[in-house]
Amino acid sequence: MFKLSARAIYAATAVLVLARQGGEGLVQAQKISADHQIPPKYLEQILAALARGGIVRSARGAGGGYALARPATEITLEAVIIAVEGTPIPTSIEMPAVLAEIVLRAQTEVSRILAHSIAELLADEEAYGGVSYCI
Protein backbone atom coordinates (compact mmCIF):
# COMPACT_ATOMS: atom_id res chain seq x y z
CA MET A 1 0.00 0.00 0.00
CA PHE A 2 1.25 3.48 -0.88
CA LYS A 3 1.75 5.60 2.23
CA LEU A 4 2.98 9.12 2.67
CA SER A 5 5.42 9.67 5.51
CA ALA A 6 4.63 12.09 8.33
CA ARG A 7 7.42 14.27 6.91
CA ALA A 8 5.69 14.46 3.50
CA ILE A 9 2.29 15.14 5.08
CA TYR A 10 3.71 17.90 7.28
CA ALA A 11 5.48 19.41 4.26
CA ALA A 12 2.30 19.39 2.17
CA THR A 13 0.38 20.89 5.10
CA ALA A 14 2.91 23.72 5.48
CA VAL A 15 2.86 24.42 1.74
CA LEU A 16 -0.95 24.54 1.74
CA VAL A 17 -0.87 27.02 4.65
CA LEU A 18 1.55 29.23 2.73
CA ALA A 19 -0.49 28.91 -0.47
CA ARG A 20 -3.61 30.13 1.35
CA GLN A 21 -1.74 33.42 1.91
CA GLY A 22 -1.83 33.98 -1.85
CA GLY A 23 1.52 35.76 -1.80
CA GLU A 24 0.28 38.21 0.82
CA GLY A 25 2.85 38.33 3.59
CA LEU A 26 4.87 35.78 5.48
CA VAL A 27 3.77 33.05 7.87
CA GLN A 28 5.87 32.23 10.91
CA ALA A 29 6.86 28.60 11.44
CA GLN A 30 5.58 28.80 15.02
CA LYS A 31 2.07 29.57 13.75
CA ILE A 32 2.08 26.62 11.36
CA SER A 33 3.45 24.39 14.10
CA ALA A 34 0.85 25.46 16.66
CA ASP A 35 -2.13 25.45 14.29
CA HIS A 36 -1.35 21.99 12.87
CA GLN A 37 0.31 20.22 15.81
CA ILE A 38 3.63 19.79 13.98
CA PRO A 39 6.68 19.54 16.26
CA PRO A 40 8.47 22.92 15.91
CA LYS A 41 12.03 21.65 15.38
CA TYR A 42 10.81 19.02 12.90
CA LEU A 43 8.88 21.69 10.99
CA GLU A 44 11.99 23.89 10.80
CA GLN A 45 13.89 20.97 9.21
CA ILE A 46 11.04 20.41 6.75
CA LEU A 47 10.84 24.11 5.84
CA ALA A 48 14.62 24.18 5.31
CA ALA A 49 14.32 21.21 2.92
CA LEU A 50 11.45 22.93 1.11
CA ALA A 51 13.57 26.08 0.78
CA ARG A 52 16.49 24.06 -0.64
CA GLY A 53 14.02 22.51 -3.08
CA GLY A 54 12.86 25.93 -4.28
CA ILE A 55 9.34 25.44 -2.91
CA VAL A 56 9.41 28.09 -0.16
CA ARG A 57 11.45 31.16 0.66
CA SER A 58 12.24 32.54 4.06
CA ALA A 59 12.88 35.94 5.57
CA ARG A 60 14.69 36.35 8.89
CA GLY A 61 14.21 38.91 11.60
CA ALA A 62 11.24 40.69 13.08
CA GLY A 63 8.24 40.07 10.88
CA GLY A 64 10.07 37.23 9.16
CA GLY A 65 8.62 33.92 8.16
CA TYR A 66 7.94 31.79 5.12
CA ALA A 67 6.14 32.18 1.80
CA LEU A 68 5.91 30.17 -1.39
CA ALA A 69 8.91 30.70 -3.66
CA ARG A 70 6.73 30.53 -6.78
CA PRO A 71 3.01 30.46 -7.61
CA ALA A 72 0.93 27.58 -6.22
CA THR A 73 -0.03 26.69 -9.81
CA GLU A 74 3.62 25.82 -10.48
CA ILE A 75 4.19 23.61 -7.43
CA THR A 76 3.05 19.99 -7.57
CA LEU A 77 2.46 17.67 -4.68
CA GLU A 78 5.21 15.50 -6.19
CA ALA A 79 7.69 18.41 -6.04
CA VAL A 80 6.87 18.94 -2.36
CA ILE A 81 7.41 15.26 -1.56
CA ILE A 82 10.65 15.08 -3.53
CA ALA A 83 11.94 18.22 -1.76
CA VAL A 84 11.61 16.54 1.65
CA GLU A 85 12.03 12.85 0.80
CA GLY A 86 14.37 12.89 -2.19
CA THR A 87 13.83 11.34 -5.60
CA PRO A 88 12.47 7.81 -5.42
CA ILE A 89 14.82 5.18 -6.73
CA PRO A 90 13.15 3.02 -9.38
CA THR A 91 13.23 -0.66 -8.66
CA SER A 92 14.57 -3.01 -11.28
CA ILE A 93 13.33 -6.29 -9.87
CA GLU A 94 12.49 -9.04 -12.30
CA MET A 95 8.82 -9.99 -12.06
CA PRO A 96 6.22 -11.83 -14.11
CA ALA A 97 4.70 -9.74 -16.91
CA VAL A 98 1.23 -9.76 -15.34
CA LEU A 99 2.64 -8.39 -12.07
CA ALA A 100 4.77 -5.83 -13.92
CA GLU A 101 1.61 -4.56 -15.63
CA ILE A 102 -0.18 -4.11 -12.30
CA VAL A 103 2.82 -2.34 -10.76
CA LEU A 104 3.07 -0.04 -13.80
CA ARG A 105 -0.62 0.84 -13.57
CA ALA A 106 -0.29 1.58 -9.84
CA GLN A 107 2.79 3.77 -10.42
CA THR A 108 1.01 5.61 -13.23
CA GLU A 109 -2.00 6.33 -11.01
CA VAL A 110 0.16 7.55 -8.13
CA SER A 111 2.10 9.80 -10.53
CA ARG A 112 -1.18 11.20 -11.90
CA ILE A 113 -2.38 12.06 -8.39
CA LEU A 114 0.94 13.58 -7.30
CA ALA A 115 0.98 15.77 -10.43
CA HIS A 116 -1.81 17.92 -8.95
CA SER A 117 -0.69 21.46 -8.22
CA ILE A 118 -0.99 23.05 -4.81
CA ALA A 119 -3.49 25.48 -6.38
CA GLU A 120 -5.65 22.51 -7.43
CA LEU A 121 -5.50 21.13 -3.89
CA LEU A 122 -6.65 24.50 -2.53
CA ALA A 123 -9.56 24.49 -4.99
CA ASP A 124 -10.46 20.96 -3.84
CA GLU A 125 -10.26 22.11 -0.23
CA GLU A 126 -12.74 24.90 -0.95
CA ALA A 127 -15.06 22.41 -2.67
CA TYR A 128 -14.98 20.20 0.44
CA GLY A 129 -15.61 23.19 2.69
CA GLY A 130 -12.16 23.14 4.26
CA VAL A 131 -12.84 19.88 6.07
CA SER A 132 -9.75 18.43 7.73
CA TYR A 133 -9.26 14.71 8.13
CA CYS A 134 -6.96 13.06 10.64
CA ILE A 135 -5.34 9.94 9.22
The answer to whether the CB of 68 falls within 8 A of the CB of 54 is no
Q: Quick: pLDDT tens for 49-106.
A: 999 999 999 999 888 999 999 999 999 999 999 999 988 766 678 889 898 888 888 8
| Burial environment of residue 113 by CB neighbours within 10 A (0 to 12, 13 to 18, 19 or more) | exposed
| pTM confidence score | 0.84
Determine the residue type at 17. V
Domain ranges of the chain: 6-127
CATH class of domain segment(s) 6-127: mainly alpha
Q: Quick: pLDDT tens for 25-37.
A: 899 999 999 999 9
Range list of β-strands (E), the chain: 56-59, 65-68
